[in-house]
Amino acid sequence: MAQPKPVKVKIESINQIAIAVWDLEVVAQNYWNIFGIGPWETYLWEPPLIYDRKYYGKPSWAREKIALARVGNVQLELVQPVEGDSIYRDFLLKHGEGLHHINFSVDDVDETAAMLTEQGFPSIQGAHYGPPEYKNGFSYHSIKPLHTIWESVHVGGPKGVEPIWIP
């Protein structure tokens, strides 16, 4: 019997669950009205805040709106594509609104992306954000055997932009 390969990326906890939506403000308000989830901190997820963006390994440009709220120890994220190519728009066109990805923390996004790529799960989208000295970044990987998109993220410091709050 073959020995299993050693685990290269170990997930200690799930930080975030994300939902792709067409209208972030409406969905955030619905979460507030139905479940009391919020308030939501929202951001325009676009350059120059977002840089070194790649979509299926190629440099790309896009804009999204994101909204973040805490539910216990887990962050809930709403993502709305605004313009440009993105895995969020791809998902919405193929599946409609719904659960998009699960997020976990890493010390180095680029190193984790390289390890997952080596295992056969290349990055489908990634970027860095905020002040470069913090090395904030994210990378999405479609892990087909798990039927899920997983996002590795490193938050080394503030985003460098103030949120808008809903409600």
Q: Using one digit for the tens of pLDDT, what is the confidence trace for 120-164?
A: 999 999 999 999 999 999 999 999 999 999 999 999 998 888 899
Both tokens of 24, joined, read 């972030």
CATH number for the region 16-166 comes to 3.10.180.10
Q: How many residues does the chain have?
A: 167
Residue range 18-25: average pLDDT? 98
pLDDT value at 115 more than 90 = yes
CA angle 163, 166, 167 (to 5 degrees): 145
**What's the pTM value of the predicted model, to 2 decimals?**
0.93
* pLDDT at residue 8 in the model: 82
Both tokens of 7, joined, read 């685990």
pLDDT value at 4 more than 70 = no
Burial classification of residue 134, based on how many CB atoms lie within 10 Å of its CB (0-12 exposed, 13-18 middle, 19 or more buried) = middle
Q: Is 126 within 8 Å of 53 (Cβ atoms)?
A: yes
Residue closest to 9 by CA, chosen among 130, 139, 162: 139
Handedness of CA 113, 6, 155, 150 (dihedral sign): positive
